[in-house]
Amino acid sequence: MIIVLRPDATKSQIDHVIERIHKLGLKTMVSRGVERTIIGVIGEEDIVRIQPLEVFPGVERVVPILKPYKLASRDFQKNDTVIDVGGGVKIGAKRVVVMAGPCSVETERLLIDIAKKVKASGASVLRGGAYKPRTSPYAFQGLGEKGLKYLAKAKEETGLALVTELMDLRDLDVVCRHVDIIQIGARNMQNFNLLKEVGRTKKPVLLKRGMANTVKELLMSAEYILAGGNFNVMLCERGIRTFEESTRFTLDIAAVPVIDALSHLPVIVDPSHATGRWGLVGPCSRAAVAAGADGLIIEVHPNPEEALSDGEQSLYPENFDRLMGDLRAVAEAVGREL
């Protein structure tokens, strides 16, 4: 950590800061330049990080040097994490994994129908929301446990692994019992208690980036789960909020290589929520695979006109099937499989 002092900082102010650092058991290195004095802090940066040093008289700015996350970092683990979600599906390996299915679980028959179709097209995980976070209290809120049972049924019929969102701690057990991957939604990325509880399980977790969160904060949230002992975390880029209005969110495609450079955890891209428009799902999925994503999560619905949520961004099964062909070609072009 580097502490930059104001040009008019007095000697006693500087000494006061140094004294505080020393009291914390750390060493300092002081550089008195022409315009500014700078104090370098040597030792465990975490100890100082939480000190409100900027409030000390004479301090202009505090510059952290080390990353605030550890377990999620490539400094901690060099090799890529590969997560085994069961049924032979491994995330973070050579094969790009596609998760597909409806936004919400609606009926058992419909879900099984979609499951069969997306499996035939090459998906290996079935997605479907049983608990739905909705902006409006008047919108469809999901089937709850009944939805989880339909998902389990679809797994039985197709062998697909399952991913579903967990919104409420009270549902942790029942969700763990039925599905293979727990999704933490964008709105809950900083629901720290939820992260802690999920960290106590060993279940694979798909952690979605909050719509206004930086990559660094995403890694900090992953750190909550890892720190609990659960290393089966995959990170999901799903678009961030910007001023652009032609898409629902702005897919931050560069986040894929950025995360790959900073962290050993696999990266998944959600082009459906990022764009909010089915016509953009194809190009953005191809871009994600080309950029190096380890997986995709895509909404598919046989009848988007009748979908109870997010119909605008759902692909027809036949469009999904065609897209899977395109994605296979792109995956091979970048040395992956699909």
Q: Smallest distance from the beta carbon of 213 to a copy of itself, in angstroms?
A: 8
Residue selected from 159, 287, 302, 322 as contacting a copy of itself according to rule CB under 8 A: 287
Q: HSE, CB side, 13 Å, CA atoms: give it for residue 107.
A: 7
Strand pairing partners for 38? 4, 31
Site for a copy of itself in 122-151 (CB under 8 A): 133-141
Q: Smallest distance from the beta carbon of 134 to a copy of itself, in angstroms?
A: 7
Which residue do the tokens 């599905």 mark? 179
Region of 159 on the Ramachandran plot (φ > 0 left; ψ -120 to 50 alpha; else beta): left
Token reading at 131: 């608990």
Residue 289 binding a copy of itself, by CB under 8 A? yes
Pick the closer one to a copy of itself by CB: 156 or 193. Answer: 193
Residue selected from 13, 68, 108, 145 as contacting a copy of itself according to rule CB under 8 A: 68
Nearest Cα to Cα of residue 209 among 262, 248, 259, 161? 259
Q: HSE, CB side, 13 Å, CA atoms: give it for residue 156.
A: 8
Which residue do the tokens 């550089």 mark? 31
Residue selected from 96, 118, 167, 184 as contacting a copy of itself according to rule CB under 8 A: 167
Task: Phi first, then psi: give them for residue 20, nearest 5 degrees.
Answer: -65, -45
Site for a copy of itself in 266-285 (CB under 8 A): 274-275, 277-280, 282-284
CA dihedral 303, 311, 299, 206 (to 10 degrees): -140
Q: How are beta strands 89-91 and 83-86 bridged, if at all?
A: antiparallel
Q: DSSP class of residue 314?
A: P
CB-based contact 153:136 (threshold 8 Å):
no
Pick the closer one to a copy of itself by CB: 114 or 280. Answer: 280
Site for a copy of itself in 171-190 (CB under 8 A): 187-188, 190
Residue selected from 156, 200, 334, 337 as contacting a copy of itself according to rule CB under 8 A: 334
Q: Smallest distance from the beta carbon of 40 to a copy of itself, in angstroms?
A: 5
Q: Smallest distance from the beta carbon of 173 to a copy of itself, in angstroms?
A: 14
Pick the closer one to a copy of itself by CB: 79 or 246. Answer: 246
Site for a copy of itself in 201-260 (CB under 8 A): 210-212, 214-217, 220, 223-224, 227, 240-247, 250-258
For 76, other C-beta atoms within 10 Å of its C-beta total 13
Pick the closer one to a copy of itself by CB: 176 or 214. Answer: 214
Residue 46 binding a copy of itself, by CB under 8 A? yes
Q: Smallest distance from the beta carbon of 170 to a copy of itself, in angstroms?
A: 7
CB-based contact 103:299 (threshold 8 Å):
yes
Q: Smallest distance from the beta carbon of 114 to a copy of itself, in angstroms?
A: 16
For 29, other C-beta atoms within 10 Å of its C-beta total 10
Pick the closer one to a copy of itself by CB: 180 or 294. Answer: 294
End-to-end CA gap in the chain: 44
CB-based contact 245:234 (threshold 8 Å):
no
Site for a copy of itself in 78-107 (CB under 8 A): none
Residue 23 binding a copy of itself, by CB under 8 A? no
Which residue do the tokens 């194809």 mark? 282
Residue selected from 13, 18, 38, 108 as contacting a copy of itself according to rule CB under 8 A: 38
Binding residues with a copy of itself: total (CB under 8 A): 109
Pick the closer one to a copy of itself by CB: 120 or 139. Answer: 139
Residue selected from 36, 90, 149, 153 as contacting a copy of itself according to rule CB under 8 A: 36
Pick the closer one to a copy of itself by CB: 86 or 325. Answer: 325
CB-based contact 131:168 (threshold 8 Å):
yes
CB-based contact 207:189 (threshold 8 Å):
yes
